[in-house]
Amino acid sequence: MLDVVDVGKRSLATYRGIAPDSDLDALHHLSEELRGARCMHLSATPYGGGVSELLRSLVPLYNDLGIVTDWKLIHGDEAFFQVTKRIHNGLQGAPGALTESEKATYLANAQLNAQRLVSDSENYDFVFVHDPQPAVLAALSPHLDTRWIWRCHIDTSHPNPTFWDFLAPYLHAYDAAIFTLREFVPPQLPISDVRIYAPSIDPLSPKNHPLPERLARDVLEWIGIRTHRPLVTQVSRFDRWKDPLGVVRAYQRVRPHVPDLQLALAGSLALDDPEGWSVYEELRAATAGDSLIHILTNLVGVGNIEVNALQALSDVVVQKSVREGFGLVVSETLWKGTPVVGGRVGGIPLQMPDDTGGILVDTVEECAEAMLHLLRHPEEAQLLGARGHEHVRQHFLMPRLLVDHLRLLKHLASVRPLPPRGIVPASFSAANLQGV
């Protein structure tokens, strides 16, 4: 059996007055025919990245609508996750090729997970498989009554052909696929039903719920940040695609102009990302001896509340990715009204249209110039942050993502009707959904 992640309970009624009413109103109608259906979300890790952030909020909201939903995890040893990280990078265009030994490691672990999944998946009408780590499972454990959806969160627009040619034949078993941007859809994808849905943030999660300013300042002082000094922050996995060393170099260019400027690099070290440790060590070496640079991780107690405080009280937040699927941290930051300097890649421009949210950059030099400009022009920075907050409210909150998911599930159920099941009442009543 696969491990189940405990996500507790959430109520969509609490989003009334926060998320757009149109999204909340739509959920009642969309969920009517799906109540009692069973759904599973399958991923590689319960923490440390955007997928886990999404599922921790999304899954309990499914249940609140009467769609019985679980979040389960695949199993894997260190060698398996080393290979899946290489596949992840290769699908984003990194050079190299898988050895026959690496292919065997990946498929052997996948087969073990497929065996665990067999009895589980027979009970589900819909299975969402997130990212490359478990992507082959639909082909290895097919069930006629299960509708399989591959949710690819990364930029696969120009995959390394050797990696794509290995993975693609296993994707034919999916009924649908979801990508963040149309241009992310890889060439010759063997899935005909392709949807384009941007991820969203949960405004009521511990990471995004409003913190009293005094509490936020106390939290940052506790982890060594001096709140009377200016602060630039990047929050992300310790991943070379996020270019944390580039952020350090940009910061070092700005520092002579703002001598007391602090830099916080807050990163997650996740179960499915073995490269994180080496990037972390490189950062430690590159910043040794600079007391104004703070390298913070989830392993030393920096979690959702600390990240919330960093995003809320930083003068500027940077997300200088060189390749990016979406970058949830951008919307998280803008939700708090803080301006962002973001790499002009992937889903970041989607979150920061012209004159909204901050400044898009392509190089270390541009990143430094943008950071310094926003530090020197706080009124402009505040206006960009406020526009970013409203843009996120309209487009990137969790109820909107749930609307997208339910539309897809309704379509798949119309193509292949669901088996009869007992109707599960929605906790979020029609009256609450329609604001009466």
Task: Give the pair of three-digit tokens for residue 203.
Answer: 């405004």
Split at pLDDT 50, 70, 90, the class of 436 is very low
What is the predicted pLDDT for the residue at 277? 86
Which SS3 state, helix, strand or coil, does residue 417 take? coil
The residue assigned the tokens 């990137």 is 396
Is the pLDDT at 313 greater than 60? The verdict is yes
Region 41-68: mean pLDDT is: 92
Euclidean distance between CA atoms 349 and 359, whole angstroms: 9
Is the pLDDT at 420 greater than 80? The verdict is no
What is the value of pTM for the model shown? 0.92
> Between residues 420 and 94, which one has the greater pLDDT?
94
DSSP run (H or E) holding 194: strand 194-196
DSSP run (H or E) holding 147: strand 147-151
Which SS3 state, helix, strand or coil, does residue 150 take? strand
In order of 152, 155, 157, 191, the CA distances from 179 in angstroms are 6, 8, 10, 12
Q: Among candidates 64, 41, 44, 192, which has minimal Cα distance to 128?
A: 41
Region 126-142: mean pLDDT is: 93
What is the predicted pLDDT for the residue at 269? 75
Task: Give the pair of three-digit tokens for residue 30.
Answer: 């969309």
Range list for CATH 3.40.50.2000 in the chain: 3-200+397-433, 213-395
* Burial status of residue 371 (CB atoms within 10 A of its CB: 0-12, 13-18, 19 or more): buried
CATH fold, domain 213-395, is: Rossmann fold (3.40.50)
CATH fold, domain 3-200+397-433, is: Rossmann fold (3.40.50)
Angle between helices 275-287 and 244-254 (to 10 degrees): 20
Task: Give the pair of three-digit tokens for residue 151.
Answer: 């949710």
Region 88-101: mean pLDDT is: 95
Euclidean distance between CA atoms 128 and 33, whole angstroms: 19
Region 348-364: mean pLDDT is: 98
DSSP run (H or E) holding 334: helix 328-335
Is the pLDDT at 339 greater than 60? The verdict is yes
Is the pLDDT at 341 greater than 50? The verdict is yes
Region 126-134: mean pLDDT is: 95
Residue 3, Ramachandran bin (φ over 0: left; ψ between -120 and 50: alpha; else beta): beta
Residue 301, Ramachandran bin (φ over 0: left; ψ between -120 and 50: alpha; else beta): left
Is the pLDDT at 106 greater than 80? The verdict is yes
What is the predicted pLDDT for the residue at 434? 52
What is the predicted pLDDT for the residue at 426? 75
The DSSP code for 123 is T
pLDDT tens column, 173-223 = 999 999 999 999 999 999 999 999 999 999 999 999 999 999 999 999 999
Euclidean distance between CA atoms 293 and 283, whole angstroms: 10
